[in-house]
Amino acid sequence: MMRRGQPLLLPVSPLFMASSLVAMLLLNMFLSDLLGPSGVWLPDLLALVLVFWNVHQPRRVSIGWAFFFGLLMDVHASALLGQHALAYSVLSYFAISMHRRLRWFPVDGQALQLIPLLLTAHLLQWAVRWVVGDGLPGWPALIAPALEATLWPVVTVILLAPQRRAHNPDENRPL
């Protein structure tokens, strides 16, 4: 069962999945180092790519991986240990539970539906820090989930590109 007009895809390469996740972790680390605490509005690219693989390959990238990457982000950001891990786990859970429905929608519709999900992940982190007594991060933090949702179509195009190649390569045919 699939949406009318949706192209058939090649199988995903596990190496590509792993390297995209690691690359986004590195990019996240680099950007957050560059901007320091003022980069509170930065989109969490790692979370976005995790959601992408949760939606498209829920049986390969699951909640355990989300937890592991969250833990790494916690240590790098010197945040409360478990803060990102919890947010990513919850994000991953909801992404997996809605993955069948989500894939019936066009990409912009998917982005729209992901806004509450991404916002929840951020809200969870703010709530955790607020409960611990660290206060709230300020209004610019609201930009982050919006940016993430905006980047969803871009991420979809890039990460699905390897699977959209023809399954029988032909030198004479374009694409």
**In angstroms, rounded to a whole number, what is the distance separating the alpha carbons of residues 17 and 54?**
11
**In angstroms, rounded to a whole number, what is the distance separating the alpha carbons of residues 120 and 111?**
14
Q: For other proteins, which is the closer residue by CB, 79 or 119?
A: 79
* Residue 147-166 contact track with other proteins, rule CB under 8 A, x = bound: ----------------x---
Q: Among 30, 105, 158, 165, indicate the residue that binds other proteins (CB under 8 A).
A: 30
**In angstroms, rounded to a whole number, what is the distance separating the alpha carbons of residues 70 and 25?**
10
Check residue 119 for interaction with other proteins (CB under 8 A). no
Stretch near other proteins under the rule CB under 8 A, chosen from 44-52, 78-86, 102-110, 111-119: 78-86
Min CB(15)–other proteins separation in Å: 15
Look at residues 67, 44, 51, 148 and name the one whose alpha carbon lies nearest to residue 99.
51
By CB under 8 A, the residues from 7 to 26 that bind other proteins are: 8-12, 26
Distance of CA 143 to the CA centre of its chain: 16
- Residue 67 identity: F
Look at residues 171, 167, 112 and name the one whose alpha carbon lies nearest to residue 145.
112
Q: For other proteins, which is the closer residue by CB, 11 or 174?
A: 11
Residue with tokens 């990238």: 61
Q: Give the binding site for other proteins (CB under 8 A).
A: 2, 8-12, 26, 29-30, 32-40, 58-59, 62-64, 66-67, 70-72, 75-83, 85-86, 89-90, 92-93, 96-97, 128-129, 132-135, 137-138, 141, 163, 167
